[in-house]
Structure 1
C-alpha cells in the first residue's frame, strides 16, 4: 500500500512530502485531487503550499473539494491522515481536527526556524521523541496562528491531543517564543483519533 500525498492547485510542498516519505522507506505517490483517493491508501498527507491561492481563507476552498469527503472517510476507517502547514489549515477547515488557523499576530508572513516542545510522545506521529523533548523545525506561513475557544483548548489538553507547543531552546513557553501568537502556543493537534493530526511547522 502507498501513502497518498494530495496535490491541489497551488500546492508546492507535495514533492517534498513524497521525497521525505521515500527517504524513510515509505512508499508514497502524488495524487491529483480531481482523481480522488486511491482505494485503501496506507496513509494520506495534506501538504503545504497555497491551495487555491489561499482565497477566502487559507485552506478554505481545498477543504470543500470533493476529495476531502474521501479523506474524512479514510480517517474514519483509521487510515493515518497528516496535514502540514497549508495541509493543517485544510484539515482544520475540513473538520478533521478542532480549532482554526488564522492570520499571524504579526500580520505578516513569517519564515524562520522555531523550537517546539513535544507534548505527547505516545502517538503514531511522535513515538520517536520523548515527552518534553525540544526540536527545531522551520515555519513559513502568514496564517499559522492556532485559535480555539478556551474550554475546547482545556479539553484538548485534558485528552492529551496537543502534539507540540512553540517554546524556546530550553522548552519554556512565552509570548517571545510563540512566533505567530497561537492560543496556548499550540503548533500541532490530534483529531478525534490519534491517527489524524495537523501540524503548522
Structure 2
C-alpha cells in the first residue's frame, strides 16, 4: 500500500508546481468550445505530448523516420546514378531511360496517394512496415530484371513503396514529436 501511495505522489502535481503552459489540467476543455469531439481529443493529446517533451520513445521515432527519409532519398538518387550503366548493359537509348524515371515517378505518385489514405485505415505502423517491405522486395527483384519491360514494371513498384513511405513517415513524425 505504501508503494502505491508513493507512486501516486510522484505523479501528482500541486498547483504551485504548474507553469503557465500547464496552468490547465490535461483534461480541461475550456477554450475548446465550438470544436468537434475529435478536434478536442486531438488538441488534448497534442497538449500532453508537448508537455512531456522529447523522451526516449520520441527520439526512437525521430531516428526511425529519419532512416525512412534517408532510404527514400537514396532510392531516388540511385536511379539517377544507375541509368547510364543500365543503358550500356541493356542497350537502350536516352528516350527509354527517360521512361524509367517516369515509371519511378508514376510509382511515387500512386504510392503517395494510396498509402496516404491507407495509413488512416490500416494504421501507421502497418503502413510503414508494408511500404518498407514493398520497397525492399521489389528492390531485390530489380536486380534480377532481364528485360526492359520488366525493369519498367518493377521500377514502378519500387516507386510505389518509396512514395508510400514519404507520407507515412511524415504522419508518424508529426504525431509523436512535440512542437
Please indicate the TM-score interval, normalised by the length of the shorter structure.
under 0.3
Specify which structure has the bigger relative contact order, considering alpha-carbon pairs within 8 angstroms and separated by 6 or more residues: 2
Q: TM-score, normalised by structure 2?
A: 0.22
- Greater strand content: 1
- Greater helix content: 2
